[in-house]
Amino acid sequence: MSKIEKLFEKILSSPKEVRFSELQKVLLELGYSSRPGKGSHTVFCHPDFHPIVVPHRSPVKKVYVEQVRELLRSYLEKTKEAK
């Protein structure tokens, strides 16, 4: 199992104790790009999905991890259907 797959599993299994750097890696792997937002926030943009704004703090609050979990689930479903 690769490192990114382990991160996928971690986020899908437990929304607690997810660091900003881990969330960033997952979003970048899903095709998002990042840009600075206001203050300590980072905006992650994707051409096919809505943008996600995440404050740069660790651990990331559960509400932001839940948003990424939903995206990750839909991404994994699409990749399974494509196979």
pLDDT of residue 21: 93
Domain 3-82 falls under CATH 1.10.3720.10: no
pLDDT of residue 79: 76
Length of the chain: 83
pLDDT of residue 71: 87
Domain ranges in the chain are: 3-82
pLDDT of residue 24: 93
Residue ranges of the chain with pLDDT lower than 70?
A: 83
> What are the residue ranges of helices labelled H in 3-61?
3-13, 20-29
Cα 51 from Cα 60, distance rounded (Å):
17
